[in-house]
A and B are shown apart, each in its own frame.
Chain A
Amino acid sequence: MGLAKWHWLKLVREWKTRIILIAFLIFFSSFSLFYRQQSLDLPLDEARSQYEVTQQLFHIIPEAHFEGELGTEVYDLLAQQQRLYGMQRYILSEKEGNTVEAMVSVVDNYLDNGRTIAENQLRLWEMTDFESYLVLTGTLPDREELQQELAFYTYLDDHQLNIEWNPYSASQVLYQQAELIVGIVLFVFAALLAADRFTQDQKNNWSVTQGNPISWKKQWHQRSAQLWGLMWIVTGTGMLVSYGVSVVRESTGSLWYPIGVFFGEKIEYIATWQYIGMLVFLGMILSYILLLFSTGLSWMIRNIYLTIGLTISVYFIPYIWQLMGPFSSWQPSLYLHIVPVVKGATAAELGISSINTWKIVLSFGVCLLLLEGIFALIFQLIPTKTMGLKRRETS
């Protein structure tokens, strides 16, 4: 074990580290309690609005256009849509918690209704010969969106799942928590944990820790890996506790419930557990990169506040590309916000469909290589006790 064992002991005996870990453990563990206090919108307004829009279409489209075979079909479809929206609206308005009061028998219909609505809308998109086609389609979601909706319903059918009525169910809260963790929280956690990893030694234990026959690079990897282990023990434990609390207080939900992931061409649905696993996996890689960065900076600049600031500021790099537009979809910094990339929001915002989930791992690999290269150069400098870093001169 050599020096790694002693780095570990120093780490776990440090009060700062302990306090940060406990704070994050409490935060992650109690997530399901905090999440309950959020207000969540059900698609009731949307159902109401669609009901009214359909009603309006009957008034706007001239009656003559509803004549003939095609016109009659459109009329019937719109009539069916209005009836279905009405039913959806009723189901949602009666929804209380996890049940629909006095309408238990129609709950299952919500799923079928949804599928039929989407199928009808796609059918309406196909009726290009309809005289008020533009008016008709102007109120419809676009085709891709409808295809996704259908894929969603198909996934539910295939896995014999129902609509998840309870947004506070354990599985729903767990995936929301995973999304939160791999965002800014990850950057803050890594920055706070690693910002003084080397600084402590260089300020308080200089002569004891210099002159060891173990390279700085190896020590950098050791220390970052140890922090990474602690970070994910705490995160994993916190998520499990939070999940347990949700299970006790609410319904379990289904870990097979579909969540859409953007793979470049289209959104595909994967199970909640797969989605959480993917986010955690990507978060683990990103957190290791951040810990390497922060630990390396702590060796280099020996200022805890500056190191924390710089590490957290990495989170804001992707916003630069929203302002000035990226040069290429291969820029690693585009992938620092995992959730928007996975959901396809980044691709949509920047108008580059090649910013997709597959590239996240590749871009993280590039980040790792860059960090390795940069810090290999930095570690060639001498961390002198009083004068900061010095270049080793010729001899």
Chain B
Amino acid sequence: MSLEIKGLQVSYGERSILEQINIQLENGQIVGLVAPNGTGKTSLFNAVMRFIPIKEGHILIDGKEYTSSDKDVLELHKQVTFFPDQADLHENFSGKEHIQMYADIWKKKNHSIEEIIDRLQMRGYVDRKVETYSLGMRQRLCFAMMIAADTPIMLMDEVMNGLDPENVNLVSETLKELRETGKIIFVSSHLLHNLDEYADQVIFLKDRKVHFVYQRHVKAVDFYKVLLDGEQQKLLMDKWNLPPGTIWLNQDKLCIPLENYSPQQQIELFQVLRELETESLEVGALGTAEYYTHLYGDSKTTIEEAAE
């Protein structure tokens, strides 16, 4: 199974939302989709589902193009499901009925319904009407409906919304299990550290385009990631000549690349940083959260910029 989005362009009237989106995904992948609110994440999902008109571009599954014809759209919907909004659930249906409904619509076998309920720890409330559910319960139900539909491609928009940390872990683990069955799962989420737990790659949208793809399994440059206040940064720059590629995130988090340093230099820099009595010091590649701040937040990449 593969999903390919080629040259996708979406606009609302004259306002362009997405341009030249090219994404290729193979089976057994979880792909994070990250961008600030209003930058086109949901529009991208809606466009893939053909819920909104596509101005240009192609959607291919296993190399076969799914056009805007009714026949193709129906076939597409057999392969791809879209994460329901918790506010859109039928209030006078029980959770179990919702799960059963999605299983029925996508003609999946009933025996898995009970397994899904147990897996997502919904047994205690699943027979109650949805109108009695909390946000977290509803969100788990929406997730369960997606599992019941059991399509090879799943578009999970804001899947972790309203979940407590325990349920975030539960859903994360279930996502990994789904990946093992060969599914392509597209997840948009604002829980950036959580994305690093399961995503194989994270796509960052910016200026209507795919700005950057963070390949999590590709060996990346290690950084010292250190929290320093203004005074400490000044002292550091007096003692150490920061290399090109150093990033200031939100003014107080400094990410210093180690790729051009020998092990001895890395130790020396480490000692300098320790002497500054930093609040926190980590070593490792940049994570989704750091990339996010770097791309969308208050980030500087030169000493001059940082000094401003």
Residues of A whose CB lies within 8 Å of any CB of B are: 1-3, 5-6, 9-10, 13-14, 204-215, 379-380, 382, 384-385, 387, 390-395
Contacts and interface: CB of A to CB of B under 8 A. Distances in A.
Given A1-B104, A211-B77, A395-B58, A384 B52 contact: yes
Given A2-B107, A3-B105, A392-B68, A208 B88 contact: yes
Interface in B105-119: 105-107
A238 B74 CA distance: 41
B151 to A, nearest CB: 9
Determine the interface band of chain B, counting residues with CB < 8 A from chain A: 35 or more
A98 to B, nearest CB: 51
B55 A393 contact: yes
Interface of B: 12, 49-58, 67-68, 70, 73-75, 77-78, 80-85, 88-90, 92-93, 97-98, 101, 104-107, 145
Given A2-B107, A5-B104, A211 B93 contact: no
9 contacts: A1-B104, A207-B84, A207-B85, A207-B88, A208-B90, A213-B74, A384-B52, A393-B53, A395-B68
A390 B104 contact: no
A2 B101 CA distance: 8
Contacts of A210: 49, 51, 82
Contacts of A212: 77, 105
B89 A208 contact: yes
Given A390-B53, A393-B68, A395-B56, A208 B107 contact: no
A382 to B, nearest CB: 6
B54 A393 contact: yes
A215 B104 CA distance: 15
Nearest to B104: A2
A379 B81 CA distance: 20
Nearest to B67: A395
Contacts of A2: 104-105, 107
A103 B81 CA distance: 81
Contacts of A3: 104-105
B50 A382 contact: yes
Contact of A382 (B51, B89, B93, B105): B51
Contact of A205 (B54, B58, B89): B89
A211 B49 contact: yes
B27 to A, nearest CB: 20
A387 B50 contact: no
A393 B13 CA distance: 12
B58 to A, nearest CB: 6
